Amino acid sequence: MLTLIARRLLTVIPLLLVASLIVYGLVELFPGNACTVKLQKHATQEKLDACMTAYDLDGPFPARYARFLGKAVQGDLGKSILQERRVSDLILDKLPATIELSLVALAIAFLFGTWIGTRSALKPGSWIDAIGQIVSTAGVSIPVFWLAMMVMSQFAGKDAWFRLGGWDATTLGPDVAYATRFYLFESLFRLEFDAFVMSIRYITLPALTLATIPLATITRMTRSSVLEEASKDYVTTARAKGLPEKLVIRRHVRRNAMIPVVTITGLQLGVLLSGAVLTETVFSWPGLGRAMISAADSRNYPVIMGCMLLFVCVFVLVNLLVDLLYLWIDPRMRVSGA
């Protein structure tokens, strides 16, 4: 088992190197110049050259990429051109909001997706199966930005229970200070229920909107996986032994059916963390996706590269975690040579 884990860890290193080169090259192709945006009417050639040198934007591409990679390995992603802040500090400031939103959305999608998918598979042609088909089709068909605007127009407003916009400690209550910036989770851990309810009011609408795509994917995968497992011989044998139907479903069918569902759920977490850009922008959510959009508007290349590289790392590491979860869920994967 340790050999399998070490083998997978070794494959991550060259993958991240290739991904970093692609990210750096793509950002290099972006039009515009951040120094011009920063200096505006004061952008003389002398000041532009000084700005380009200060933020390591001049020189040949291989040399700049080598310097960027050497600093990135040490945790230094450069300095934001407009905010005059380290990119790593900016990411640490915005990342908790994106993680919390993505985890809540994924939890909603997983709980409802596995329940609807399992019920749809056990009762094909029933009303719950029809709901599952509608959810699966709508989730992958409706654009998330359009759905976000519809949700805002119907359920948010001046006197509505749900809140919109950026949230921080000052919106949760007077004299509230959270060190982790995970306001929803930390307020619940600290049993500060007023702040927890206020967090729910802010996060519900964007989380529900963001959950639609993974909800559709998880529902379809669960339904097909449960249908496949329920028709196998070992399930027939378990029923022939006289085991209760609930026990057959819980112990035999669902456990094996969850293997592909765990895979797709892990991939969806990477998609949510890296793809929450539209949802954060529409709902003015103070996360990393919205920060990257602002950086793209101002040609703030260090921030764009830092955010994109982080998203790639998250996606690769989530895939690695899914591989390791396989070893725990499926004992056959722990057999030598499997």
- The pLDDT of residue 168 is 62
Instruction: Write out pLDDT tens, residues 5-14.
Output: 677 777 778 8
Cα-based angle 272, 277, 279 (whole degrees, multiple of 5): 85
In terms of Cα–Cα distance, which of 238, 260, 259, 240 is closest to 249?
Answer: 238
SS3 298: coil
DSSP characters over 216-264: HHHHHHHHHHHHHHHTSHHHHHHHHTT--HHHIIIIIIHHHHHHHHHHH
How far apart are the C-alpha atoms of 90 and 78, rounded to whole Å? 11
Contacts of 296 (CB under 8 A, 6+ apart): 30, 304
Inter-residue contact 202 to 167 (CB < 8 Å): yes
173: left (phi over 0), alpha (psi -120 to 50) or beta: left
Cα-based angle 56, 62, 66 (whole degrees, multiple of 5): 65
Where are the domains positioned within the chain?
Answer: 87-334
In terms of Cα–Cα distance, which of 109, 116, 114 is closest to 134?
Answer: 116
Cα torsion for 169, 302, 211, 8, to the nearest 10°?
A: -120
How far apart are the C-alpha atoms of 221 and 140, rounded to whole Å? 13
Give the pair of three-digit tokens for residue 173: 């209550």
Q: Which amino acid is at 147?
A: L
What's the pTM?
0.80
Number of residues in the chain: 338
In terms of Cα–Cα distance, which of 100, 107, 131 is closest to 118?
Answer: 131
Inter-residue contact 260 to 158 (CB < 8 Å): no
How far apart are the C-alpha atoms of 69 and 55, rounded to whole Å? 15
β strands within the chain, DSSP E:
none
Inter-residue contact 7 to 55 (CB < 8 Å): no
- The pLDDT of residue 88 is 85
How far apart are the C-alpha atoms of 335 and 338, rounded to whole Å? 5
How far apart are the C-alpha atoms of 99 and 281, rounded to whole Å? 15
SS3 156: strand
Q: What is the CATH number of domain 87-334?
A: 1.10.3720.10
Inter-residue contact 30 to 299 (CB < 8 Å): yes
Inter-residue contact 262 to 322 (CB < 8 Å): yes
Instruction: Write out pLDDT tens, residues 35-85.
Output: 777 777 766 777 777 877 777 777 787 888 888 888 888 878 877 877 777
Q: pLDDT 10s per residue in the chain (338 long)?
A: 667 667 777 777 888 888 888 888 887 777 767 777 777 776 677 777 787 777 777 778 788 888 888 888 887 887 787 777 788 888 888 888 888 888 899 899 899 988 888 888 888 878 888 888 888 787 778 888 888 888 888 887 667 777 776 666 566 655 666 777 788 888 888 887 887 888 888 888 888 888 888 888 888 888 888 888 888 888 788 888 887 877 888 777 887 888 788 878 877 877 787 667 888 888 888 888 888 888 877 778 888 888 888 888 888 888 777 777 766 666 665 555 44
